[in-house]
Structure 1
Amino acid sequence: MVEIKYILIGVAVLLLIFSFVTVQQGTIAVVTMFGKYRRIMKPGLNIRIPFFERLNNRVSIQNRAIEMEFQAITQDQANVYFKAMLVYSVLNAEEETIKNVAFKFVDQRSFIQALIRTIEGSVRGFVATKKQAEILLLRGEIVADVKESLDHTLETWGFHLIDLQLNDITFDAEITTSMAKVVASNNLKAAAENEGQALLITKTKAAEAEGNAIKIAAQAEKEAAQLKGQGIALFREEVAQGMTEAAEKMKAADLDTSLILFSMWTEAVKEFAEKGKGNVIFLDGSVDGMEKTVKQMMGNDLLKK
């Protein structure tokens, strides 16, 4: 009896031990009984019926990533090589979704293969409608098209696509070389256009500056001539007034006014000598000639006034 008691206690302990199951955070356990789905277990400590309920699968509800490399052909028959990273996860933690994820595919490997092939087919279908020159500019459009076309399919599997990152898009060496030449020629063309525009602006500004300088010089010359004329006129006016006053004083003193002419003559000769700059000027030194010359000078001054 004692041995049977210990055996029963041992069996009870084993049943108790096998009755508790720990489910890790970020996963949900799928329980079956006699090969049929029964229920799910959430993260933490759970109780099951020993030897009858079995943990068929543990479904991760965390984000998962897959790296892919594949090839596509454009509308103009150019080969495009993609390196991409796919980020996906279980749609939600509801029981029906977890049940779908656990039993939709034979195993995880089959699901991953189906997911990769589906995405590759979607990208290839999009690329086949575009030309090679457009592909590099359509990263965002490719991702958006893939997500739009796959959302419903992945939902039926219990998953959803979080992100598709096209990390690298390359072409055959010949295409890459030709693309580089096109870019280089476009850059040279743009540089030439910019240089032409800069030269045009420089010449335009130089012409404007030269025109403004000419206008300023002409205005200054005009003002200088006006000031010079005003000064000469004022000088002549002062000379005439001084000569008139001197003549009146000489007449009042009963002196010969010809002294004024003689004085003007000598001043003129002195001015010619100082400012003649080596030029030869012939003057009549006789009394009649002096008087005639002075009168002519005064006549010219009057005409200029």
Structure 2
Amino acid sequence: MNNDFNIMWVVAAVVVLLLLIASVRIVPQQSVYLVELFGRYRRMLTPGLNFIIPLIEQVAHKQSMRTRQLDVDVETKTNDNVFVIVRVSVQYRVSNETAVYNAFYQLENPEWQMQSYVFDTVRAQIPKQNLDAVFDNKDSISKDVKEQLRDTMEEYGFEIIASLVTDIDPDQSVKDSMNQINAAERERRAAEHKAEAEKIMLVKQAEADKESKILQGQGIAGQRLAIAEGLRDSIAMVTDQANDITSKDVIDLLKFTNYVDVLGSFDTAASKVIMLPQPTGQLDSLSSDILSAMEAAKDSKKDG
């Protein structure tokens, strides 16, 4: 009899222990549990140690309060008939603990609900724009998606943190064509810059040649002026010191001296110039021309 009594106490203690264990619910941080009594919402368990009535109450839903992300791939066509896949990432969370009731009991699948609105918004915006405009207006598309989701999902207890267009993926053939267009554009710009650089070099070279010729002309003019003044002084000096020497004799001497100097300048190892003897008659003719010019100059001064 005592053994049966002891066994009953042991069984009762085990049952109580099991019921006690079944009644304990530990809710982690940033989570909320919904408790139902016979299928009807009863209360909410907040983070920490909680107890429920075993076999009567049950946890119907475990809601995380953390921010989550939903990635949606939308295939659509642009205004210039290019099919693209647009990836939209929606970051959302349940706004507060009191909104958990609406988030669970009013929406069967909130992710599918948000995905439908993303599809609707993106497919309403992309077909109005060309492919280039789609890439340029990513921020505008993201803003429209966020506003649409926010206006719809707030009444169900969800807060839309952000909506981002993370990728726009056209067909591979379109990518190849775009790359070819970009490459051709870069080559055109490179050719323009190269031509402009060559133009600048030619202009600078022409300016340098111009300045060089100007300086060269000024040097030759100065050289000729110095030679003329030297000849004038030499003739005056010789005729003053020796009355029996005529202007013709001085010019012949200077002419012969210059002739010899020129011949000496060709006498180098690297010279490839072949000199032919100069007839003396031509030198006499040259001197006669010079004397005639000098006499004409004197006559013109006297007449003046």
When the two structures are superposed, what TM-score results if normalisation uses the length of structure 2? Answer: 0.71
Partner of 1:130: 129
Partner of 1:18: 22
1:90 to 90, 93, 105: 93
TM-superposed CA distance for 1:190, in Å, is 3.4
C-alpha contact 2:121 2:148 (8 A) present in aligned 1: yes
TM-superposed CA distance for 1:142, in Å, is 2.1
Point out where structure 2 has 5 or more consecutive residues left out of the alignment.
261-277
Aligned runs of 1:40-189 on 2, under 5 Å?
40-82=44-86, 84=87, 86-92=89-95, 94-106=96-108, 110-159=109-158, 160-171=160-171, 173=173, 175-176=174-175, 179-180=178-179, 182-189=181-188
C-alpha contact 2:32 2:97 (8 A) present in aligned 1: no
C-alpha contact 1:65 1:85 (8 A) present in aligned 2: no
User: What secondary structure does 2:164 align onto?
Assistant: strand
Partners in 2 of 1:213 and 1:21 — Cα distance? 99
C-alpha contact 2:76 2:84 (8 A) present in aligned 1: yes
**1:41-88 deviations in whole A, cap 9, x for unaligned?**
233322333333321111122333344333112234432223x25242
Partners in 2 of 1:214 and 1:40 — Cα distance? 99
TM-superposed CA distance for 1:216, in Å, is 2.1
**1:186-229 deviations in whole A, cap 9, x for unaligned?**
44543443344334323322222222222222233333344444
User: What secondary structure does 1:261 align onto?
Assistant: coil
C-alpha contact 1:75 1:127 (8 A) present in aligned 2: yes
Partners in 1 of 2:52 and 2:171 — Cα distance? 57
C-alpha contact 2:117 2:148 (8 A) present in aligned 1: no
Calculate percent identity across the aligned residue pairs.
Answer: 22
Letter paired with 1:59: Q
Letter paired with 2:134: I
Question: Cα 1:272–1:169, aligned 2, differ >3 Å: closer, same or farther?
Answer: closer
C-alpha contact 2:35 2:58 (8 A) present in aligned 1: yes
Partner of 2:197: 198
How many pairs are equivalent? 273
C-alpha contact 1:236 1:301 (8 A) present in aligned 2: no
Partner of 1:261: 244
**1:265-284 deviations in whole A, cap 9, x for unaligned?**
77665544444462424999
Moved over 6 A (4+): 263-267
C-alpha contact 2:143 2:163 (8 A) present in aligned 1: no
User: What secondary structure does 1:136 align onto?
Assistant: helix
TM-superposed CA distance for 1:180, in Å, is 5.0
Letter paired with 1:128: P
Indicate the larger mover: 41-50 or 178-187: 178-187
C-alpha contact 2:135 2:168 (8 A) present in aligned 1: no
Whether 1:31 aligns to 2:35 is yes
TM-superposed CA distance for 1:128, in Å, is 1.9
